[in-house]
A and B are shown apart, each in its own frame.
Chain A
Amino acid sequence: MITERSKIIFKVLGAALLAIGLLFLAFNPSSQVTRAYPDREEVVFWHMWTGEWTEVVNRIVKRFNESQEEYEVVALPIPRSGADFKFLLSVAGKTPPDVMAQWRSVLPAWASQGVIMPFEDLMSPEELEAMKEMVYPVVWDIGSYDGKFYGLSVGLNIWALYYRPSHFVEVGLDPDRVFASMDELDAASEKLFRFDASGNILRIGFLPQHFHGWLPSFGGSLYDWESGEVTLRTPANLAALEWMQGYTHRYGLDRIIRFNSSLQSGTGGTMDWPFISGAYSIAFDGQWRVEQLARYAPNLDYRVMPVPPGGTEGLPQAGLVAATFMIIPEGAKNPRGAMEFIKFWSGIVDPDRAAEFYTWGGWLPISQEIAEAPAYRAYVGRYPQFQVFLDILPSPNLTILPPIVEQNYLMDRMNQMEQRVLRLSEEPEPALQGLMIELEREMSKRRERP
């Protein structure tokens, strides 16, 4: 039985707890960053460059803040594992940043949901047209959705073939000769594979991965820009997938799995990249490896060559381009300031100045003007391997991921499909067909939503 006295005590305690809560309210330790230029308009910038990359971003932000007197960009690095979540919550709560740097497959989905702002709201048609003229065509395509422009790239990513010249020489291949076709790559890979007496793999010559990255070289594509439809079941796409699976047939799934399992952790970081240890003679990877290799394996002898054309419809200097791009969320308090910052960083207003920023991060430029700026030429002089990627950039055979709302879904399911095909649990043709059915189902679900 509860006594009157107890009731009073519990009431007092409850009131005390409430008082503590109110005290917190009054205390309310605000989480505002100390400003260097408090008189200027604040531009809140979120990005996912953590670790050593934060310093690079801070240098660019500092340059912007010193370059004018109206805005102050305040940068906040966010761990990428939770960045999208935080961003979407902030938009839902109407407290988003003014600008965010992104590199995931989010632009079409966020644009269609009204999460991000079209640049048409902030730039005149003349300005937009001038920008379109200036940048590489893929930059415009990557930032566009449904006839509007939503994200300007500040660095492009392209993949090419990294190879070890010493391995080439060892098996009698000419390291100075660029592969003219996928058949030549296959033949070289065959020579570069090494096995022990029991038939276990000691070194992999080459092993294709990342299906979407190979499609353009086979003349394939995931999207028909004329009709605006996703194209998965094309002869070229099928040829690419069959070619990839051919490696598993040739060298044996068990042997490949055993070999890859014996490698280091495989987190995808620089240090455990099997190309460094020599476990792979040829590797398909992005331009960022050049900068990383210079830092972590400065004495490694390696070269880079473009992916050769494959199949009967193959294209030279082809590839899939991805980008880091800047977006402005709906509800941003200072979209004008955000726009000025984006122009500054991307090099739309001063390519020569921005070229330096691209070299700080080892990013591929978004326009020919930046690529030809003295600062960028000096950088390529230091890292000649970069020239291979720069040569690919103006190519008409570059493509991007389909600008569809389900881009993220498609990439996720396509990676799963690729794994099934490479592990021989599914044949390429039904796999592509199944993927198309899955995608259509997902698209129709969206269409049916009110």
Chain B
Amino acid sequence: MSTPALKLPRGLRFGVHILLILMAIPCILPLLWMVSTSLKTDEQVFPQATEGVAAVSITDFVPSPVKWSNYPEALQAVPFGTYLKNTLFLCFLNVVCAVFSSAMVAYGFARTEFRGKTVLFVIMLATMMLPPQVVMIPTFVLFQKIGWYGTYMPLIAPYCFGVPFYIFLMTQFFRNIPSEISEAARIDGCSEFRIFFSIYLPLSFPVLATCMLFQFISTWNDFFGPLIYLNDPSHYTIAYGLQQFVGAFDGQWALLMSGATVFTIPIIILFFLAQKTFIQGISTTGGK
């Protein structure tokens, strides 16, 4: 269901667009700085006045000369190919496991009746309130005891058993789907699994896509997981590997920004591609 577009006079619409563009500038500045720095030499990164304060000007954003070689240098300075492969491997498994397991649990909460459902739902929600620091040490010790320290397992296994936030989102979404549909299907002899797979999942694409996107971004950006559990540079992910650029007392800014640009582009592309579905998923679960 789409909302009818707001009709504004042409002049006013133009003005609104100008205003929105102006308001968007501060948001896009860091991104522009990142891309611009990625094409600069070390000396250009921070403008140096021979004396006194260097005033920041718009020309500072234009690299001169443009140093394209920062990109191949950055990609060679650390094994980006390996990091990318590892990250995509984790992203794929985490997205599949997290979304599928969460959807199953959410369906249970939304459309089946069993004793203690409300209590379980509240407990599940309560786990979202726990700060990660609280569970980190026991979780680490647990994974270490079962021999998973130094492997990918602690970064994958927890997602095979549902993610509370996704379960909550999906439960809300499933509850919005008229129960008459599932009841009619049940009368026609459909099993719960068939209802879940053939009716609920196809109708829930926006929320599934939203959770997929959330999980993808979360795994893509995860720094602490690989930091804690991985000990072999050949298993590092992009978010963790990117930190290798940050030197002990200094940063190789141009290279760091080249790496960051490469790191950010897939997320931006993904967001633009999935933008409509993403917003639909959020708005559908947010309001009744």
Contacts and interface: CB of A to CB of B under 8 A. Distances in A.
Asked if A and B bind, the verdict is yes
A213 to B, nearest CB: 16
A278 B52 contact: yes
- Give chain B's interface residue range (CB within 8 Å of chain A): 35 or more
A226 B227 CA distance: 42
A161 interface: no
B149 A95 contact: yes
B248 to A, nearest CB: 5
Nearest to B255: A51
B232 interface: yes
A203 B243 contact: no
A263 interface: yes
A92 B43 CA distance: 44
Contact of A24 (B144, B156, B228): B156
Contacts of A277: 46-49, 52-54
B249 A271 contact: no
B245 A50 contact: yes
A20 B160 contact: yes
Nearest to B141: A93
A50 B246 contact: yes
B248 A50 contact: yes
Nearest to B241: A79
Interface in B18-62: 42-43, 45-56
B251 A269 contact: yes
B17 interface: no
A13 B240 contact: no
A148 interface: no
B200 interface: no
A82 interface: yes
Interface string B96-134: 010001001000000010000000000000000000000
B152 interface: yes
Nearest to A48: B248
B249 A32 contact: no
A262 B53 contact: yes
A17 interface: yes
Interface string B143-166: 010011111110011001100000
Interface stretch (B7-15, B173-181, B185-193): B185-193
A51 B254 CA distance: 12
Interface in B41-85: 42-43, 45-56
Given A93-B141, A203-B51, A277-B53, A79 B149 contact: no
Contacts of B55: 262
Given A31-B150, A270-B250, 13 more contacts: A6-B193, A29-B151, A30-B151, A33-B233, A51-B248, A77-B244, A78-B227, A202-B53, A264-B54, A264-B56, A270-B249, A296-B42, A296-B43
Task: Report the 7 A-B pairs with minimum CB-CB distance, sorted nearest first.
Answer: A51-B247, A6-B192, A79-B243, A93-B144, A9-B193, A31-B150, A31-B232
Interface of A: 1-3, 5-6, 9-10, 13, 17, 20-21, 24-25, 28-34, 44, 48-54, 76-82, 85-86, 89, 92-95, 194, 202-203, 259, 262-265, 267, 269-272, 276-279, 288, 292, 296-297
